[in-house]
Amino acid sequence: MPSIELLPEVTKFIEGPPKMNIGGKAVDAISGHTFEVIDPSSGKSFCEVPRAGVPDVDAAVEEARKAFEDRRWSGLRPGKRTEVLFKVAELIKRNINELAQIEALDSGKPLQLASGEMWAAAEAFRYFAGWPTKIYGETNPTEDDLFVYTLREPVGVVGGIVPWNFPLINASWKVAPALAFGNTIVLKPAEQTPLTALRLAELCLEAGVPEGVVNVLSGFGEDAGAALSQHYDVDKITFTGSTEVGRHILHASEGNLKRVTLELGGKSPNIVFADANLRKASMGSMMGVFLNSGQVCTASSRILVEKSVHDEFVSSLVEATKSMKLGPALEEGTGMGPVVSQEQLERVTGYIDIGRSEGAEVATGGERDTSLGDGYFVQPTVFTGVRNDMKIAQEEIFGPVTAVIPVDDVDEAIRIANDTIYGLASAVWTNDLSKAHKVARGIKAGTVWINTYGLFDPSVSYGGYKQSGFGRDLGRHSMEAFTEMKSVWVNLK
Ligand code: NAP
Ligand code: MG
């Protein structure tokens, strides 16, 4: 039993049982099929949700299409859409304790972290609530007897497909901009963590989002996800997930050439120079990889350390790592929870074995922790003696494992940092201003943090270089991803 008692509204939601939402109606799958939702802290199933198949995807897309074409949402006064999106933010905040418990139970993340995430999800709605009143077009400098202007219009029906690591944040980063720019959406959360997205659909309705504008389907990638990404009546897919599935999405989109934006995996370099504040660097690097049990696309999974401070940095990192308390999501004082599933547990421990067999050394951690019962607990693990060509330095582990790689100088740090197929995020720790900016320029990644790690804000665009994907979420650049641009020519003669 979790030591933090479940709120009555959480029990009520789980016992519901939770339903999907299509066209504003709470529904089961047409087939009647369901699947189990597992608590990673105990390895036990605690509820069942509908398993959407192709007919459910068709029904949801049909509702989203109807809602888009009759302009029940995009036709509202922009200020009204702002008001409704603010209301969604408000409702998330009002229900933050309930949502955080559901998220913690579903994903295994510590309750405190889950609460912070619910707040961040609300902030995404709050940020995008400001956009409907700021979607300007342009006038174009053409010949005197012509008048040409551009309109920014919604793309249409958006399919959102998201992973399990930050379930409600991922969902909000898709739903909030889709709505702000006038689209309708069919969202498929990850099979491991469907619950907060299902609850979000209810909160959107409560806030006044018209029926059919936000449709949420719980289901599996191989059927519901694939059907959504292939669907000829879906105009755009906004995807966050693995690079491998990103490729499937791209192939699936070719039928109707739907727009695609992809936020994919990473193997982010985190560079620590000898002149950095090592205490801050080790703490930041530790949080950068072990927050959310390393299940973070921007995880600080390759730590490049200047040789002269290597040993000192490693002992500081190991000490910080040992202070991270492993425990169940709903227990006071837990700093790091389990990984999300049995499959992920096997993947992560498999990589730890690979690291050992490649000749890297375990400086701390390195085992599954069975002292906490049947939950999927893996000790936070630091590898030293890693070469950048090792598998543990090249492949995304997506768990609480980091690899420390010694480097000689700035040039070698940049070269190794870029020696990866990914380009999502990076960090540099130094007190030398020009070195910091030189490295920031040299790294091929969508985000560079200087003397910090893992910061996000809805106003800051975010996305990948190389095989970490394309397109940008958040910030003003998300307008490109969620609108089409139309040029209108008027003959003044
Ligand atoms: P995943 O396996 O790629 O799954 C992501 C989503 O795609 C899930 O909803 C999944 O459904 C669905 N899916 C699976 N196969 C599909 C298919 N053939 N067609 C359509 N949809 C399909 O990723 P994950 O394991 O959930 O999450 C971990 C990955 O996400 C990591 O690689 C991580 O780096 C990446 N990530 C990236 C960012 C970013 O912003 N760049 C953020 C967070 C995570 P199922 O749940 O049923 O498999
Ligand atoms: Mg998956």
> pLDDT tens-digit profile of 191-244?
999 999 999 999 999 999 999 999 999 999 999 999 999 999 999 999 999 999
Q: How far is the CA of 199 from the centre of ligand 1 (A)?
A: 20
Q: Which of 230, 242, 343 has most ligand 1 atoms within 8 Å of CB, for mutation?
A: 242
**Confidence band for 75, pLDDT divided at 50, 70 and 90:** very high
Assess contact for 355 and 378: CB atoms under 8 A: no
Atom of ligand 1 nearest to the CA of 164: 26
Q: Ligand 1 atom 9: the closest Cα is on which residue?
A: 190
Tell me, using a 6 A CB cutoff, whether residue 226 lines ligand 1: yes
pLDDT band, very low/low/confident/very high, at 367 (cuts 50, 70, 90): very high
C-alpha of residue 245 to centroid of ligand 2, in Å: 9
Q: Which two tokens stand for residue 194?
A: 């469907």
Which residue's entry shows tokens 């939950």?
375
Summarize the confidence of residues 344-348 as an average pLDDT. 98
Question: What is the distance between the alpha carbons of residues 318 and 260, in angstroms, rounded to a whole number?
Answer: 41
> Measured from the CB, is residue 292 less than 6 Å from ligand 1?
no
Prediction pTM value: 0.97
Q: What is the mean pLDDT of residues 99-116?
A: 97
Condensed to tens digits (0 to 9), the pLDDT of residues 434-461 reads 999 999 999 999 999 999 999 999 999 9
The ligand with the least distance to the CA atom of 267 is 1
Q: Which residues of 318-327 are buried (b: 16+ CB within 10 A; e: fewer)?
A: bebbeebebb
Question: What is the mean pLDDT of the segment spanning 332-349?
Answer: 97
Pairing of strands 302-306, 401-407: parallel
Name the DSSP class of 337: -
pLDDT tier, 1 (very low <50, low <70, confident <90, very high otherwise)? very low
Of 33, 107, 109, 161, the residue with max ligand 1 atoms within 8 A of its CB, to mutate for a pocket test, comes to 161
For the segment 101-129, the average pLDDT, to the nearest whole number, is: 98
Q: What is the mean pLDDT of the chain?
A: 97
Cα–Cα dist 463/313, whole Å: 29
The CA 344 to ligand 2 mean position distance, Å, reads 9
| pLDDT score of 341 | 96
Q: Choose among 401, 410, 407, 365: nearest CA to 388.
A: 407
Q: Is the CB of 416 under 6 A from ligand 1?
A: no
Cis peptide bond upstream of 210, omega within 30 = no
Q: Is the pLDDT of residue 394 over 80?
A: yes
**Residues 127, 277: Cα–Cα separation, whole Å:** 34
Residue 204 catalytic? no
Distances in Å between the Cα of 182 and the Cα atoms of 155, 179, 486 are 8, 5, 15
Residue 2 has pLDDT above 60, yes or no: no
Query: Is pLDDT above 90 for 281?
Result: yes
Hey, whose CA ends up nearest to atom 32 of ligand 1?
242
Q: Which atom of ligand 1 is nearest to the CA of 264?
A: 41
C-alpha 305 to ligand 1 mean position (Å): 31
CB 326 within 8 A of CB 377: yes
**Main-chain phi, psi angles of 412, to 5 degrees:** -65, -35
Decide whether any atom of ligand 1 lies within 6 Å of the 218 Cβ.
no
* Of 117, 123, 211, 263, catalytic: 263
Counting ligands in written order, which one lies closest to the CA of residue 242?
Answer: 1
Contact 239, 158 (CB under 8 A): no
State whether the beta carbon of 465 lies less than 6 angstroms from ligand 1: no
At 3, is the pLDDT very low, low, confident or very high (cuts 50, 70, 90)?
confident
Given a cut of 90, is residue 174 above it in pLDDT?
A: yes
Nearest CA to ligand 1 atom 35: 241
| pLDDT, tens digit (0-9, with 9 covering 90-100), for 290-333 | 999 999 999 999 999 999 999 999 999 999 999 999 999 999 99
Which ligand has the shortest distance to the CA of 422? 1
Atom 43 of ligand 1: nearest residue by CA position: 297
Per residue in 395-439, pLDDT (tens digit) is 999 999 999 999 999 999 999 999 999 999 999 999 999 999 999
Percent of the chain with pLDDT over 90: 99
Give distance in angstroms: CA of 212 to centre of ligand 1: 25
Which residues have CB under 8 Å from 457's CB, separation 6+?
474
Distance (angstroms) between ligand 2 centre and the Cα of 286 equals 25
Cβ neighbours of residue 24 closer than 8 Å, sequence gap 6 or more: 63, 205, 210, 211, 212
Pocket test for ligand 1, best of 186, 191, 229, 245 (most atoms within 8 A of CB): 245
Atom of ligand 1 nearest to the CA of 220: 47
Nearest to 88 by CA among 190, 192, 185, 233: 185
Q: Which ligand is nearest to the CA of 467?
A: 1
**pLDDT, mean of residues 88-112:** 98
Q: What is residue 136's predicted lDDT score, i.e. its pLDDT?
A: 96
Please tell me the number of the ligand nearest to residue 241's CA: 1
Q: Is 297 a catalytic residue?
A: yes
Nearest atom, ligand 1, residue 226 CA: 19
pLDDT (tens digit per residue) in 139-168: 999 999 999 999 999 999 999 999 999 999
Compute the CA torsion angle 119, 122, 124, 125 (nearest 10 deg). Answer: -170
- For ligand 2, the distance from its centroid to the CA atom of residue 316, given in whole angstroms, is 34
Domains and CATH numbers, the chain: 8-264+468-487 (3.40.605.10), 269-458 (3.40.309.10)
Distances (CA, A) of 187 to 92, 101, 177, 190, 297: 18, 22, 13, 10, 20
Determine which residue's CA is closest to atom 39 belonging to ligand 1. Answer: 263
Instruction: Say how many Å lie between the CA of residue 415 and the centre of ligand 2.
Output: 32
